[in-house]
A and B are shown apart, each in its own frame.
Chain A
């Protein structure tokens, strides 16, 4: 059972003090304050973050039966406000308020966050957001912190560059952050025991490319008037064509699996870790140039913010498991734990109705943790 604390006069004054300092930084950099509603339509979160977030979300229904929830984060409602308002991009928005999650300890926590939406230059956006978060943490009274950064975009590029059966690429990318599960998945791919749709694909074995489509369509027709369950015939045909064109009994090359495993184990001081990845991915170096350059640029930006690089740890498998994050992520840590975090979610705005390719990066500062961290120092 999570707890819901009442804040006493001193606590709330101290908290407001930290929040004002953080919001002052946001305002100074042109971020305008918004206050999303505490109660939000539940589907807004479930459709974007998946069922997992629902386990930790407080849901309720209003007297008309509409499903609502206490906002589990303020990012999605803030982004939705921007899209619905029809205002132009790029946009800079910020907030400070309570978020609610069913979790051990307190079921509510204060977050001050900033969102930089629709800035086409991603490198500039990355640098601005990390700088903003660092300045906000410092303004909140915490000068001594370390950083954790990661970019699953690097991993995704690697998977696309390596010899991996086409139908498995998505699986590797989706499950990379599930420790335990991912290792087993990789082992199953090497041994070929992946429990795929063997029967249907077997039926297609030996057919020429041009014969495939009619045979697959005939197989679907055999199911008579069974519902399509929201998918189209084309989707089903397409997926089977990909599988049939690939090896009929695909296996992952053990050397490729080994490279993936080694890549995900890379962890350490930013520049050294980057060099390690460069060496490791030499066989596909051409494809890795762009994402590696982006990461090097981020490290350079951090140096310019007076963040010593020996306090910046790059972890290859670090991705935030809130599912709208798309690649680059960062966290600020103190002895009192994580005080701030953020990252890129470049598909969220499109899902809310913005034009395709509208970028987004943001950060959230845990103001209560900043207070606690100040106490520790």
Chain B
């Protein structure tokens, strides 16, 4: 048996069902399992678990499932070094979104990371504390900022509505996910010119931390082949 984790609800679930449908594959909800379990028609060796997107990323990271479908942003946040832990098998062509650095539009003197670096340093000198970046992408933010040479800042964890943090006064700038940028704009924020951290989409991913014997590998290969993925 292998386990495949797919989103339990929402756009991502519908789009994945449609994606499988194009290859003639359908998921079938298991009766009595309260909607948390399913099977794949024609693939009895696969146990399908319906989880939330972030749970799927965590399960891939921990080796608790063999395969999973979720956003690349969540996978990279859960597993900062993918090498040897999770293989991204296929970008699924939906769930597109960018993880970006956004600052208040009124900062007309700031349009690049180099500017933000100046602002962070000046802020630390002036206010004796670090400029706050609200985000739920702690790992992505840290490695991106480290690469850009920005160090005078602190991350404020955000559970939701990150884009409202600068207006609410709980952070000065944010790192968040955006599709069209309109929510950012509505909150008086702009994306830095070189502030795209990740162009994300839904990924079919394989956890290397899960047990993979020959039989399990064969089950996965048979399922993945019609989807255009060789493992």
Cβ-defined contact, B108 with A200, below 8 A: yes
- Interface residue B117 (Cβ < 8 Å from any Cβ of A): yes
Cβ-defined contact, A229 with B104, below 8 A: yes
Cβ-defined contact, A195 with B114, below 8 A: yes
**C-alpha spacing A47/B169, complex, angstroms:** 17
- Interface residue A181 (Cβ < 8 Å from any Cβ of B): yes
Residues of B within 8 A of A181 (CB): 149
Residues of B within 8 A of A239 (CB): 109, 118, 122
**C-alpha spacing A350/B173, complex, angstroms:** 26
- Interface residue B172 (Cβ < 8 Å from any Cβ of A): yes
The smallest C-beta distance from A243 to any residue of chain B, in angstroms, reads 7
Among listed B22-30, B41-49, B151-159, B221-229, interface-contacting one = B151-159
Cβ-defined contact, A230 with B123, below 8 A: yes
The smallest C-beta distance from A215 to any residue of chain B, in angstroms, reads 11
Cβ-defined contact, A220 with B145, below 8 A: no
Which range holds the interface residue count of chain A?
35 or more
Cβ-defined contact, A51 with B155, below 8 A: yes
Residues of B within 8 A of A167 (CB): 118
Within 8 A of B (CB), among A212-235: 216, 219-220, 223-231, 235
- Interface residue B105 (Cβ < 8 Å from any Cβ of A): yes
Which listed residue (A55, A228, A236) contacts B109, Cβ 8 A?
A236
The smallest C-beta distance from A225 to any residue of chain B, in angstroms, reads 7
Cβ-defined contact, A240 with B108, below 8 A: yes
Among listed B1-9, B50-58, B63-71, B188-196, interface-contacting one = B188-196
The majority secondary structure among interface residues of chain A is helix
Cβ-defined contact, A51 with B145, below 8 A: yes
- Interface residue B146 (Cβ < 8 Å from any Cβ of A): yes
Over the window 161-186 of chain A, the binary record of Cβ atoms lying under 8 Å from chain B Cβ atoms (1 yes, 0 no) is: 00000010011001100100100010
Residues of A within 8 A of B154 (CB): 43, 46-47, 50-51, 54
Q: List 11 A-B contacts (CB under 8 A).
A: A51-B155, A170-B122, A171-B114, A174-B117, A195-B113, A224-B188, A227-B106, A229-B107, A230-B169, A239-B122, A323-B151
Over the window 110-122 of chain B, the binary record of Cβ atoms lying under 8 Å from chain A Cβ atoms (1 yes, 0 no) is: 1111110111011
How many A-B contacts if CB must be within 8 Å?
Answer: 121
Residues of A within 8 A of B111 (CB): 197, 199-200
**C-alpha spacing A296/B62, complex, angstroms:** 56
The smallest C-beta distance from A140 to any residue of chain B, in angstroms, reads 33
- Interface residue A52 (Cβ < 8 Å from any Cβ of B): yes
How many chain B residues have a CB neighbour from A under 8 Å?
47
Asked, given contacts A51-B130, A197-B111, A240-B109, whether A230 binds B172 with beta carbons under 8 Å apart, the answer is: yes
Residues of A within 8 A of B193 (CB): 195
Cβ-defined contact, A226 with B151, below 8 A: no
Residues of A within 8 A of B122 (CB): 170, 235, 239
Cβ-defined contact, A170 with B104, below 8 A: no
Cβ-defined contact, B112 with A227, below 8 A: no
Known interface pairs A195-B194, A223-B108, A226-B106; 5 further A-B residue pairs with C-beta atoms within 8 A, sorted by A's residue number: A43-B154, A194-B114, A200-B108, A220-B106, A230-B172
Residues of B within 8 A of A230 (CB): 123, 127, 131-132, 166, 169, 172
The smallest C-beta distance from A238 to any residue of chain B, in angstroms, reads 9
- Interface residue B202 (Cβ < 8 Å from any Cβ of A): no
Cβ-defined contact, B152 with A216, below 8 A: no
- Interface residue A196 (Cβ < 8 Å from any Cβ of B): yes
Cβ-defined contact, A55 with B106, below 8 A: no
Cβ-defined contact, A55 with B166, below 8 A: no
**C-alpha spacing A195/B111, complex, angstroms:** 9
The smallest C-beta distance from A183 to any residue of chain B, in angstroms, reads 12
Asked, given contacts A46-B154, A197-B110, A197-B111, whether A227 binds B104 with beta carbons under 8 Å apart, the answer is: yes
- Interface residue B34 (Cβ < 8 Å from any Cβ of A): no
- Interface residue A351 (Cβ < 8 Å from any Cβ of B): yes
